[in-house]
Structure formats: structure tokens, C-alpha cells
Amino acid sequence: MSQLHSLYLFKKPTQFSDLLLSFFVSIKENINKKNKLVNEYSDNKESPMKAIQLKRTSATPNITLDKESGLMEIMGASIPEDADGLYVPIIEWLEEYAKTPNRKTVFNFGLKYFNTSSSKLLLDILLLLKELYEDGNDVLIRWHTEAHDEDMKETGYDYADIIEVPFEYMTIEDEKF
């Protein structure tokens, strides 16, 4: 029996309401935590269409989403402890972008490494780009890899097979990562 349920059954309304309030506060904190990385590292605090610029850390890639310039990229390693906190705001930005996209959308992925939780969210981003493409928009994915990184090249091929959007494969120098 849950703590909430037992307090309710044993008619302790003050304890029950306090526990219920702390439960809702906890939910609100978790929702706010999802936007934590964007709020800490980006100027994007007012409008979802403002540019997002997240600087690379040891666990997160450099992320740029700028509708005005057309620059959209995720470059570096992606091994954050909270992948949702990093990528959910990116997904929300892309959902808003899809309402009035640029004439051509080019999204650059240059990932040196990513963990399992990042891979699912990266696929979510790619699926949003697929929807944009299926809606008749001009979309191009540029998959950047180091020359010797056959695994990441293969990952790009796998993603391309799943989403069926035009892909370009590019080799870049190690310094870019």
C-alpha cells in the first residue's frame, strides 16, 4: 500500500494533504529540470524560436539551433546523465520550427560518441525531420564522422534507412570534435 493511500484510508487529512502537496511539488520540479540545460547554457529563455546555443562539455555536444541563420547542428560526444534534460527542449524547439520552417532545412550531426539514452532522443529528432520532409519541405541531414570511425558511419547509414530523408556523409578532421 502506498504512503498516500494508507494516509487517506486512516483518515489523517493533514498528513495526506501535506504528502500530496510534496508529491505535486516534486512533479513540478522534475518538469522544470527538463529545461535546466537550456536555461543554464543558452539565451533561449523567452521564445522557443530564439536561437539555442549550448556549449560543449565533457558529457554534452555543442548544439546550435538558429532558424534565422539556418544553422542546426549537434557536434561532439553525447553522454549526459540526463539525456531528457538535454534533448527535450531541442525536440520542443524543432516542433515549433516545423510550424514555419525555412525554405531548406539542413541539420548537421557530428557525433563522436553517444550513449543509449541519447541514441533514442537523437532518433526522435531525426523522426521530426522526417515528418518535416514528408510534409513537402526540403530537408537534408549531414552526417559528419571522423575518417577512421567506421562505427559512427554505420550508425549514420542505419539512421538513414530508418527515416528515409536525404543524407550526406561527410568526413571531418578530429579538431572539429
Read off the CATH number of the domain in which 123 is found: 3.30.750
26/39 same-domain check: no
Contact in structure between 127 and 94 (CB atoms under 8 Å): no
Q: How far apart are CA 63 and CA 42, in angstroms?
A: 10
Please give the tally of structural domains in the chain. 2
Higher-confidence residue: 41 or 116?
116
- Say whether pTM exceeds 0.75: no
76/135 same-domain check: yes
Q: Phi and psi at residue 122, in whole multiples of 5°?
A: -65, -40
108/171 same-domain check: yes
Residue range of the domain that includes 17:
3-33
pLDDT at 31 > cutoff 60 = no
57/141 same-domain check: yes
Picking from 29, 143, 149, 33, the residue whose alpha carbon sits closest to that of residue 81 is: 33
Q: How far apart are CA 33 and CA 53, in angstroms?
A: 18
Task: Give DSSP secondary structure letters for 45-89.
Answer: SS-TTS-EEE---SSS-EEEEETTTTEEEEEEEE--S-HHHHHHH
93/62 same-domain check: yes
Find the largest Cα–Cα distance for the chain. Answer: 67
111-131: pLDDT as tens digits = 999 999 999 999 999 999 999
Provide mean pLDDT across the span 28-41. 46
Residue 81 has a pLDDT of 95
* Residue whose cell numbers read 542546426: 72
26/64 same-domain check: no
42/17 same-domain check: no
Residues 6+ apart with CB under 8 A from 151: none
Residue 49 has a pLDDT of 80
Higher-confidence residue: 81 or 45?
81
C-alpha distances in Å from residue 148, one per residue of 75, 121, 141, 145, 152: 17, 25, 20, 8, 9
148/121 same-domain check: yes
26/71 same-domain check: no
11/47 same-domain check: no
91/118 same-domain check: yes
105/169 same-domain check: yes
